[in-house]
Chain A
């Protein structure tokens, strides 16, 4: 019996040692994500795009905007409905699941044919990690992170905008749809 007790104490002690560190608050968790660059990795667009295309049962789709955000990794698409081309829907991907679509209220001047672009054509999404690293380097803020990547047509050209932030400043870097660097600046 004594030996059994000793065993149990030993196992409990070992488990306790490996569990060192305890728990953190949500703010501390967000700080950890930022210290590692912001949390945007290639798995997010990969999984979210796959989920969206599977939901719609298509191989490509026309979108008006795509947004990747952190610290809780989410991806939001404004999708032109493949079956009703006059309608725009928002699809939100979070916690590794795609939510039900929500309708987007269109304005009188909206021209979906001109504002939307092919999601498959945005090959920058496949190299999102390079974009994040380059945006942080080009903006040049120490200890920065990318908190948001926004993709939409600017002056009729598909543009990828990475929003860089730090404790002491913020900035943006822009890229083409294939991930080629365009501009950067502090805001």
Chain B
């Protein structure tokens, strides 16, 4: 397989993975918005350790906004886009690592069976 073909294959796998994780996340975060709080340690600073996800009703829909809260009730808004983006990146990275481990294990088993 040429290098170019290999690169195209890798890029398309990665693209498919990103789309798949985005779809899964979109569905899960709609059913359970609290999921977004997973990435709070990456978005909230040391003085605002408590993540709070606030649901606001806008017309017929809802928006989720994440706030980071400190001990005195001081808050700042992280927004609704950043938690999703960070969660998407983390989730994709985890799935990528899991798939890579699975593939390397398969390759290892295959090379073992061919040598024996």
Interface of A with B (CB < 8 Å)? 1, 3-4, 7-8, 11, 15-16, 18-26, 29, 32-41, 43-44, 70-73, 95-96, 129, 132, 145
Contacts and interface: CB of A to CB of B under 8 A. Distances in A.
A96 B52 contact: no
Given A4-B99, A41-B70, A24 B75 contact: no
Chain B's interface size range is 20 to 34
What are the 6 closest A-B residue pairs judged by CB atoms, nearest first? A36-B73, A22-B34, A39-B73, A41-B74, A33-B73, A23-B53
A73 B75 CA distance: 7
Interface string B84-103: 00000001001100110110
Interface in B27-44: 32-38
A19 B39 CA distance: 9
A32 B47 contact: no
Nearest to A21: B34
Contact of B98 (A4, A23, A37): A4
B66 to A, nearest CB: 9
A28 to B, nearest CB: 8
Contact of B37 (A11, A19, A38, A72): A19
Nearest to A41: B74
B5 interface: no
Contact of A24 (B52, B71, B99): B52
B34 A26 contact: no
Contacts of B71: 36
B72 A36 contact: yes
Given A15-B91, A23-B33, A26-B54, 14 more contacts: A8-B98, A22-B33, A23-B54, A24-B53, A33-B69, A35-B73, A37-B72, A38-B73, A39-B75, A41-B73, A43-B47, A44-B74, A73-B76, A132-B72
B74 A15 contact: no
6 contacts: A4-B101, A21-B34, A26-B55, A39-B73, A40-B74, A95-B76
A46 to B, nearest CB: 11
B35 A19 contact: yes
Q: Which of B32, B36, B53, B74 has the most CB of A within 10 A?
A: B74
B88 to A, nearest CB: 13
Given A4-B99, A7-B98, A22-B32, A41 B56 contact: no
B12 interface: no
Given A20-B34, A23-B33, A34 B55 contact: no
